[in-house]
Amino acid sequence: MYIRHPELMILAFALALVPRYALADVCTVPGTHVSIQAAVDDPACADIELANQNYFELLEIDRSLSLSGAMGGSATVVGQIEVTGSTTLAMLSDFHVEGGCPEGVLRVTGGSQATASGLQVVYDAGSDCVVNLIFRDGFEN
């Protein structure tokens, strides 16, 4: 049997051996994207990795994704994160979130879900806070 393009056959075989997760897009901020929200808005970014710096952003996550800080680092979102949408699952890990009142630091609403590992939420206890909730929808008091 004669194979017209053996290099294509070798490439197809090699790709079949690559684990599926190795082909997932990992987006970096800064790097592939200038801001966290830009990476969140990009549907090609399944996993978003933050460099060790402060990010002054108000984030709205309305699709499932993974958001993590660089290993052993100190990435900090100064502002708030809101996870919305009934089918959204946000996996948050290894970074800090700082804001004014706890109800504005990290909000999980509309039936969405957030899992956290190594996430530190810090808020200013001296500000005029009305509600003492970190998560909305009765997730945690």
Beta strands (DSSP E) in 70-133 are 76-83, 89-93, 96-99, 106-108, 113-117, 120-123
Q: Which carries the bigger pLDDT value, residue 11 or residue 87?
A: 87
Q: Map residue 65 onto helix, strand or coil.
A: strand
Q: Of the ranges 41-55, 85-99, 117-131, which one carries the lowest mean pLDDT score?
A: 117-131
> Mean pLDDT across the stretch 82-100?
91
> Mean pLDDT across the stretch 87-105?
85
Q: Is the pTM of this model over 0.75?
A: no
Q: Map residue 57 onto helix, strand or coil.
A: strand
DSSP bridge pairs for 93: 68, 117
What would you report as the CA-atom Rg of the chain, rounded to the nearest whole angstrom? 19
Q: Of the ranges 35-39, 59-63, 97-101, 102-106, which one carries the lowest mean pLDDT score?
A: 102-106
Q: State percent of the chain over pLDDT 90.
A: 49
Q: State percent of the chain over pLDDT 70.
A: 66
User: What per-residue confidence (pLDDT) applies to 15?
Assistant: 53
